[in-house]
Amino acid sequence: MIKNHPDEGFKILKEIHFGLPVAEIVRQHHERIDGSGYPRGLKDGEIMLEARILAVADVVEAIGSHRPYRPALGLEIALEEIKSGVGTKYDEEVVKACLELFSSGFLPI
């Protein structure tokens, strides 16, 4: 079920006409730079920039927030996760931009 949610989101969103290809962005947000992601195993330039951005935002939010099955792990752990995944899981420039937003104070820690 977990690995199906990008495709299920795509099916729902493809019928809505947005200014951007939102359905495809959602479908790709669990793809990884090294091809290890899902649902299609896309890699590098096959993954839309917007999906790369959403992937990093999703990880930071998921790790930093409370979940029904665990307490929030904290922003510091979330930022360490994206740093450790640069070039394999996450786009280097997207991670750099995310870290700059937090370090500049633009986004509160």
Record the tokens describing residue 109, joined without a space.
């820690």
20 or 51, higher pLDDT: 51
Cα separation, 13 vs 10, in Å, equals: 5
- pTM, full prediction: 0.88
Q: State the CATH class of domain 2-103.
A: mainly alpha
- Average pLDDT of the residues in 50-64: 97
Residue 2's pLDDT is what? 67
- CB contact set of 16 (below 8 Å; sequence gap of 6+): 22, 23
Sequence-ordered alpha helix ranges (H) in 14-109: 22-28, 49-64, 75-84, 92-103
Written as one letter, the residue type at 32 is: R
Look at the block and give the residue holding tokens 């998921």: 62
Q: Supply the pLDDT for residue 1.
A: 54
